[in-house]
Amino acid sequence: MARTSRGNRGKGKRRLNPKPKIRTAKPVLKSKLICVGNRKYVAEITLLTPGNRHSNKTCTTRKVFRKTFCCQGMEKATNVMLPAFAMEVNPCIWEREHDAKVVAEMKAVAPDVRATIERRTSSKLVMDVTVVNKEDATQVEVFLECILENQVVEIIYLHGATPLQAGGMFEKLLHVLQKPTVWSINLGELNFSAPQLRALQTALAQSNVTHMFYECMNGSQLKADLSNAVRENRRKHSLWKYSDDDDAHNDIVRNVVKNWFNPSRHTCNIGHL
């Protein structure tokens, strides 16, 4: 609604303000990379303020930042060094633009990734991240979305999906753990921070996960804490046990591997046909 000003106070009338508030777009970062020698590059980041609807200019240059660095190959310079410099110039703008780029990329590739996951996944009860490129953040995020939408998934393999170590993706992982049907999860080849591990332990205690694997590089106490959390969960349900009259379920339990302790090794399951 346009701003108004008081006119003819005695009569209480209002009229449109002749100078309404002008809303401008958010500032953006424009980057450029120049190769100036053998493994030597110049990165240039320009901070731009977009023009408003009452200006003839489309944008205004506020400041230009330059940095020279050495790097092995143009690909690394473009995908690693240049984004790092942009984040150093203005973290807030970089994060906003990065998040928008990730969302756009996800919308573009999501249909193809979903089709690949569906084609390569033989059972909805078991989801393995190896059906996608587990080092690609967009594909891993789509994979997590598919898990969250899956109402029957029980076994999840996420080993080597390093994008899960990032903040936003880790939060989605915690939501995955809270799915009531999930009872086995593999998190091998990942290295979470100390705060993330504390959050992981809390989430496990609140979940139905009874079997898991994580490479505890931070000491045996961490493994003991995580193991105790999943061991206590075995009192919550019996999905990890063989059934006397459900062969399909027994096949799932029998094929669960890559945990600290596989369900087929439990005393109650040993010798079950």
Per-residue pLDDT, averaged over 143-172, amounts to 94
Per-residue pLDDT tens for 160-192?
999 999 878 999 999 999 999 999 999 999 999
CATH 3.80.10 fits 109-265, yes or no: yes
Per-residue pLDDT, averaged over 98-115, amounts to 83
Residue 233 or residue 102, greater confidence: 233
For residues 151 and 250, the answer to whether their CB atoms sit within 8 Å is no
Per-residue pLDDT, averaged over 189-208, amounts to 94
Lowest mean pLDDT across 34-38, 113-117, 236-240, 259-263: 34-38
Dihedral sign, Cα of residue 114, residue 120, residue 125, residue 129: negative
- CA atoms of 132 and 116, how far apart (whole Å): 7
What share of the chain in percent tops pLDDT 70? 86
Per-residue pLDDT tens for 49-99?
876 555 555 667 778 899 998 888 888 888 788 888 888 888 888 778 877
* pLDDT on residue 10: 53
Check: pTM over 0.85? Answer yes or no: no
What residue spans in the chain does CATH classification 3.80.10 cover?
A: 109-265
* DSSP classification of residue 265: G
